[in-house]
Amino acid sequence: MTGATRRPLIGVPAMWSAKVQGMRFAGAAVAVAVLASIDRAGGEPVALFPGSSESAADQLARLDGVVIPGGADIDPRRYGSEPDEHYWPADHPGQDDYEAALLQACLDSGIPTLAICRGMQLLNVVHGGTLLGHLEPGAIQHRGAEHPVACVPGTLLASVLGTDPVRTSSYHHQAVDRVGEGLRVAATSPDGVIEALEVPDAALLAVQWHPEDLAAESPSDHALFSWVVEAARTRLAPGPAHLQTNNLEVLSS
């Protein structure tokens, strides 16, 4: 196949796990729902090894797009805090460093990127922002629940999802506190929790919810994966079309 016609390759960093069912030793896991959502949108998911000896930039050179999925908590010491009884660390001590380097390489290269939950929080931390260590249950449940999210008009996210509230599947106990430098808020929940971030003029969407949970039935969640796959496909095409990545509209408002 030519570069213009093959399925876009979408890299997904795996979570180094101390135990994976069916394996005798440690494994590297990626949620099947994330892989299936990329496949459903027309992309070919590629799991990325967090212990690779290759640089993030070299890994990206073979890819057309990236999805950074949810997972364990980010080490609070990265944003000037300390672990508490709610802290759920990654099994691999280098997971945060690996994904932070990958995320920065995505921004440097301009490769289309969708960051989910932990991925959005890491984006904020990489840009000097902070996180709330633990959300206490309130009027809106954020862990293991569905709730509406409203996109901010004029954002890239709003061009993909529209401005009417969308239903989201939420599973997190941390949240963005101080927004990192150079980021803009793209969506919030009714209780004011920041639900999406963007980097102006970058081909990147970062959402706090888990679009893979409902992507098979929810047009708005499927649209996020379609956006990253189609932006990657546009980047593959010859000529100047790849410069128009940020103008793609997947779901009309």
Q: Write out pLDDT tens, residues 118-159.
A: 999 999 999 999 998 788 777 677 878 899 999 999 999 999
Please give the Cα distance from 125 to 74 (Å, whole number): 9
pLDDT 10s digits, 11-56: 999 988 777 788 888 877 899 999 999 999 999 999 999 888 999 9
Q: What is residue 216's predicted lDDT score, i.e. its pLDDT? A: 97
Please give the Cα distance from 61 to 50 (Å, whole number): 16
Q: Which two tokens stand for residue 150?
A: 């409203």
Domains of the chain in sequence order: 9-247 (3.40.50.880)
Residue 23 CA to its chain's centroid (Å) = 27
More confident residue, 253 or 220: 220
Q: What is residue 16's predicted lDDT score, i.e. its pLDDT? A: 81
**Active site positions, annotated:** 117, 210, 212
SS3 of the chain? CCCCCCCCEEEEECEEECCCCCCCCCEEECCHHHHHHHHHCCCEEEEECCCCCCCHHHHHCCCCEEEECCCCCCCHHHHCCCCCCCCCCCCCCCHHHHHHHHHHHHHHHCCCEEEECHHHHHHHHHCCCCEECCCCCCCCCCEEEEEEEEECCCCHHHHHHCCCCEEEEEECCCEECCCCCCCEEEEECCCCCEEEEECCCCCEEEECCCHHHCCCCCHHHHHHHHHHHHHHHHHHCCCHHHHHHHHCCCCCC
More confident residue, 172 or 164: 164
pTM of the model: 0.89
Q: Which two tokens stand for residue 36?
A: 């299936």
Q: What is residue 106's predicted lDDT score, i.e. its pLDDT? A: 97
At residue 103 the predicted structure's pLDDT band, cuts being 50, 70 and 90, is very high
Mean pLDDT of all residues in 189-200 = 95
Q: Is 70 exceeded by the pLDDT of residue 223?
A: yes
Q: Is 60 exceeded by the pLDDT of residue 206?
A: yes
Mean pLDDT of all residues in 173-190 = 95
Q: What is residue 195's predicted lDDT score, i.e. its pLDDT? A: 96
Most confident of 87-91, 191-195, 222-226: 222-226
